[in-house]
Structure 1
Amino acid sequence: MGDFDLHNKKSRIAVIAVIVVSVALLGSLIYFFRPYLSVFVNPEQARQMIISAGAWGPVVFILMQILQVLIAPLPGQVTGLIGGYLFGPFLGVIYTMIGATIGFTIIFVLTRKYGRPFVERFVSKKYLDRFDYLTREKGVMVFFLIFLLPAFPDDIISFIAGMTTIKISTLVFISILGRLPGYVVLSLIGNGFTYDNLKPVFVTIILFAIIFSVAWWKRAWLHDLIKRGDRLLYIKSKFRESWLSITLVLAGLLIAIILLYQFSLQEPF
């Protein structure tokens, strides 16, 4: 019993030591590089910093994307747009995904190694309490849906996912699959701003906004769906309860897509 307590005590001391050293290093970086930190809250400064790096631009962008996932307040959507604008739709997605993958892999590894005390230093109690049920989740489909749908804070969920028993390699794989469609759309939009005809950009933005709005409007349904074990039955029951509103929403989406398609065929302005 004494050896067990001693082992636990040593483990706690090791965790505390690692956290203290990490905080000290982070504080030192912030102190010495504070003149450059504004790029993480100012998209235009971020873009100019990448351009000024010249041939090193992709490396700077990838590092910026890693920091965005780990600590920075600049939304991932903004870096996705910047990537598409500067590097084109293909390389923009590649560089964005490389940076994001490295970032959330670091989160998974550190969270798995140091557990909840580590997570509590990055995630507020409000979000931990709200998504605590996910730490008991063993199925990968739940996290795939969370990373795919726009109604969840996926950077925060990465910390939660790291506390599960799901293999880290599996978490990395489903994170890539779930985030990829969103980054593709953002990169296409960002690249679209380099052309004279902005209609395809507006069409994509409007469609993306419609999908996001519907997901946000029904976020309570999505949260309940994630929590349920019998998800197919839940979908069927919700459709029976609200079939009319669901039908109207789908019809509205179809009409909006048709109108936007017709709009995109008109002469550019």
Structure 2
Amino acid sequence: MKLNILKVLRWVLIGLLFVAVIGLINQVGLQRIRDQVDQFGIWAPAVVFGLRFTSVIVPILPGTAYAVLAGGLFGFAQGLLIVALADLASCTFNFYIARRYGRGLVERFVGQQFMDKVDRLGRRHLERNVFLMMGLLMTGLFDFVAYAVGLTQTRWQTYLLALLVSILVAKPLWVAAGAGIFEGSQLFLGFAILGAFGIGIITAVVQRQPNE
């Protein structure tokens, strides 16, 4: 029951952030916001990078909204670069923390209430099935998956390969959604819708895989 409440709260936070960002854009104007963001130079992308990075390290935080925000503020190409680098750094960090320090420190980051989710993912023998690992890294559980894989005997080279492929396939989705919504681009919105459909299929397939 507590887990369901936290899950609902997480999506409520994402929704509120979406509403706040879209409301701000409608009131001020996207170009004016981008002009003000440009004045911060490298610090603007660095802030979004930091927010996305932190939301993966501490999975309770709504990281999806920051991917959409990156696409809206910086455009598809730069936004995707920021999100991809943040996810590569944070998921590698998650794996290292789990591998180096074990469950004790992982629990400090995810919280006791979410350790059961990490343990369930770990019991799916991800070290034996790189395609299942890759598929789960493409879903919304990717932050927990990174911790779970670190607690297995998976080689870091195998994990890194799966992570890179998952980033290339899945991360453009939310960035394109942000670029499409805020720029009114039908192309990006169409790409995001098709991507969401594909990720939904992947999620359904990997979640049906039995725990061996």
TM-score by length of 1: 0.57
Counterpart position of 2:40: 54
User: Is 1:186 matched up with 2:174?
Assistant: yes
Note the residue ranges of structure 1 that are not aligned, 5 or more in a row. 1-37, 229-269
Aligned-residue sequence identity (percent) comes to 19
Bigger RCO of structures 1 and 2 (CA < 8 A, at least 6 apart): 2
Residues 134/79 of structure 1: CA separation in 2 closer, same or farther (3 Å cut): same
Call closer, same or farther: CA 1:76–1:173 in 2, change over 3 Å: farther
RMSD of Structure 2 on Structure 1 (CA): 3.2
Q: Does structure 1 conserve the Cα–Cα contact (< 8 Å) formed by 2:170 and 2:195?
A: no
Q: Deviations over 1:147-184 (max 9, x none)?
A: 12x3x511111110111222224313311211322211
Matched, 1:137 2:124: no
Structure 1 distance, partners of 2:125, 2:106, is 12
Runs of 4+ in 1 over 6 A off after TM superposition: none
Contact kept? 1:101, 1:176, Cα under 8 Å: yes
In the TM superposition, what is the alpha-carbon distance from 1:201 to its structure 2 partner? 4.9
CA contact (8 A) 1:135 1:160 kept: no
Of 162, 171, 175, the match for 2:150: 162
Q: Distance in 2 between the 1:144 and 1:59 partners?
A: 27
CA pair 52-68 structure 1, distance change in 2 beyond 3 A: farther
The Cα of 1:191 is off from its aligned counterpart by: 1.3
Shift in alpha-carbon separation, 1:136–1:175, aligned structure 2, 3 A:
closer
User: How many Å apart are 1:127 and its aligned residue?
Assistant: 1.1
Determine helix, strand or coil for the equivalent of 1:120.
helix
- Deviation for aligned residue 1:92: 0.8
Q: Which has the larger radius of gyration?
A: 1
Match of 1:176 among 164, 176, 181: 164
**AA in 1 matched with 2:71:** G
What is the TM-score of this pair, normalised by structure 2? 0.70
Task: Rate the CA distance shift 1:72–1:140 in 2: closer, same or farther, 3 A.
Answer: closer
Q: Show the 5 A alignment for 1:40-189.
A: 42=17, 44=20, 51=37, 54-55=40-41, 56-71=43-58, 73-121=60-108, 122=110, 124-134=114-124, 137-148=127-138, 150=139, 153-189=141-177
Q: 1:241-267, CA deviations, whole angstroms, 9 ceiling, x for partnerless residues? A: xxxxxxxxxxxxxxxxxxxxxxxxxxx
Aligned residue pair count? 182
